[in-house]
Structure 1
Amino acid sequence: MRKIIVATHGELSKGIVHTLGVIIGEEITHSIDTYSLLPGEDVNDIAESIEKEITSAKEKKLDYVILTDIAGGSVHNTLLRLVSYPNVWVITGVNLIMLLDIILSDSNNSTQTVLEKALENARLGITLQSCIPDNLSNDLDNDDL
């Protein structure tokens, strides 16, 4: 069984989980915990709260998947210490595709397999479209504006 936690700067964590609920139904999102680091708050308080849950739930045999917003950011860096527990994974760059993949994954698959697939699908879901023709785009790149 997996416990999903979304921890971000500001209220992105709440917003992305709310949006997930719009897509798949709010009842599914009630199992996702969110943590929002707001100005003046200490990210160590978030880490301690999550760590307390991890250590108190050892008998439940839960895998903890912690999704953060910015690689190298204070939330991500602080929560990385939790990967010292064998049942904890921390992923940065949370997005809706990634979260959908994880929450809708088959619980019979290993957490590692689920996360690898979610990361690949999240990467594939990031695209760029433009109406600028390729040759014009190259010309624009070379101009000194």
Structure 2
Amino acid sequence: MKNPQELFADYLADKNLKVTPQRRLILDTFLKQDGHLSSEELYANVKKRDSSIGQATVYRTLKLLNESGLIEPLDFADGVVRYEWRYGQTHHDHLICDKCGKNIEILDETIESRQEQLAEEHGFKLLRHKMYLYGICSDCRSK
């Protein structure tokens, strides 16, 4: 199994694009983060490592990482697109608090199985899916 840097390099080569030091640094910075990052958060972290990298370079690199299948965008219904690592990760869904924005990654084999059954019942072959469950977390409910 190839590492993310090799996969990204292969993807860029297929698109006749170069692996620039800036793209390498952005990928490396993304890989060192935990959780779900917005483009602005990633840009701030990249800026700490190399102040010459512009925000547009971060946006374009995120787009390439998404197109390559290494990351995926998430919509927690708060107007901010976040990204999480996709390659080599187990599929999971998200519980999202409408008040504080807290999100919890969940994996439930029963739900996954049922989603596959539903797709099959309707003549679909599932390629991918996302499920977001919105509510109020226990911390916000106790306030």
> Would you say same fold, with TM above 0.5?
no
TM-score category of the 2 structures, normalised to the smaller one: under 0.3
Please report the TM-score for the alignment, with normalisation by the length of structure 2: 0.25
- The structure, 1 or 2, with the larger RCO (C-alpha pairs under 8 Å, 6+ apart) is 1
